[in-house]
């Protein structure tokens, strides 16, 4: 992997990740951009104890542009985009309309391929490995920023999810706090260790699901399953067999095997509802241990946390979506229409030949 860092016309950082070491990246951003002004603010909810990012400048962000005006395609001729070069393998750049900025963290965009009409599932294993390397490198770099406590790499796919740019891409949020969902995991981890005599909760879950009806697939270094209390109609959790706290700690064997496993999961998701259905909308989310101190979680350390990826779709059956209505949105109590065992069986049935 070759990494080349440059700056866009408004001062934002852009980084090329290339498969070839001899690739030269010297294209200049020719757009007449003024420096980005953001109004991101983190507000604490004193009743719930969580945080809300208020970012009014995002109202003006690019919204469903036609394909020939996509800002994530390479720049060619007089058609200028966020990527100055005429081609790329993987690109990461600071979001022009970030939810988090400055002392409130940082937001980045990850473009998986220059092919506008592709999807992550269309990548080769070599290309998918390059994306993994980019996620890992950005996690390392962002963890050194004084304002950053947790790094979150994710992909939103599909208009049903709320995606406003059709080009295959994901995002990275670098939060200045431990996110509420991770905090819940850490508290459960601490409680289980206390009541079980020292057992690690993540290890117990992976061991249980590796031998049960909710197993989707397993390899020498990874295991994927539908969780016992899945929130979403089709939801898969992917864990490395060797517990590690973050992407940085994955060994080479797991890194080499990841593209095969992950691409297989994505391709199965696209076959769940049959060939006549549009591409399956999904969210794919990496959960990594926070980089800050964890004293508030009863002595739990970063090494107790287990890196894992959660992949889920809001489609519950052909032509129907799962909406977060009163119980889910009002009280955070999910109601799942698809039994997790049924979802796992379906994901095993659509395994590619």
Catalytic residue numbers read 169
- Whether 250 and 256 have beta carbons less than 8 Å apart is answered as no
CA nearest neighbour of 262 among 117, 64, 129: 129
Tokens for 279? 């591409």
**From CA 209, how far away is CA 203, in angstroms rounded?**
10
**From CA 81, how far away is CA 100, in angstroms rounded?**
22
**From CA 14, how far away is CA 108, in angstroms rounded?**
9
Question: Radius of gyration over alpha carbons of the chain, in Å?
Answer: 20
Which helix (H) or strand (E) segment is 93 a member of? Answer: strand 90-94
Q: Which residue has the tokens 């007449």?
A: 32
**From CA 65, how far away is CA 42, in angstroms rounded?**
29
CA nearest neighbour of 166 among 278, 249, 78, 264: 278
**From CA 30, how far away is CA 118, in angstroms rounded?**
27
């Amino acid at each position: 992997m070759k990494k080349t860092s440059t700056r866009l016309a408004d001062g934002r950082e852009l980084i090329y990740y290339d498969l070839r070491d001899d690739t030269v990246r010297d294209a200049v951003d020719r757009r007449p951009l003024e420096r980005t002004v953001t109004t991101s603010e983190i507000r604490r909810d004193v009743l719930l104890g969580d945080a809300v990012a208020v970012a009014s400048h995002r109202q003006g962000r690019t919204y469903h542009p036609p394909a020939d005006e996509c800002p994530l395609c390479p720049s060619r001729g007089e058609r200028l985009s966020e990527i100055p070069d005429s081609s790329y393998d993987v690109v990461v750049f600071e979001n022009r309309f970030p939810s988090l900025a400055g002392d409130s963290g940082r937001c980045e965009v990850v473009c998986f391929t220059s092919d506008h009409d592709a999807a992550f599932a269309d990548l080769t294993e070599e290309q998918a490995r390059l994306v993994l390397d980019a996620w890992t490198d950005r996690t390392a770099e962002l963890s050194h920023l004084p304002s950053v406590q947790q790094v979150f790499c994710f992909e939103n796919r599909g208009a049903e999810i709320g995606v406003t740019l059709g080009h295959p891409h994901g995002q990275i949020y670098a939060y200045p706090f431990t996110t509420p969902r991770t905090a819940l995991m850490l508290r459960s981890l601490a409680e289980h260790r206390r009541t079980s005599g020292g057992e690690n909760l993540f290890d117990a879950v992976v061991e249980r699901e590796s031998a049960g009806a909710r197993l989707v697939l397993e390899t020498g270094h990874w295991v994927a399953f539908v969780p016992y209390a899945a929130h979403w109609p089709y939801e898969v959790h992917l864990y490395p067999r060797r517990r590690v706290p973050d992407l940085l700690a994955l060994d080479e064997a797991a890194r080499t095997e990841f593209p095969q496993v992950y691409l297989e999961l994505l391709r199965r998701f696209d076959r769940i509802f049959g060939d006549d259905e549009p591409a399956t909308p999904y969210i794919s989310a990496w959960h990594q241990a926070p980089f800050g101190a964890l004293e508030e979680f009863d002595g739990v350390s970063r090494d107790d946390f287990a890196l894992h990826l959660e992949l889920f779709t809001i489609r519950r059956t052909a032509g129907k979506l799962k909406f977060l209505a009163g119980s889910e949105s009002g009280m955070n109590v999910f109601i799942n229409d698809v039994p997790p065992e049924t979802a796992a069986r379906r994901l095993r049935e659509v395994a590619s030949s």
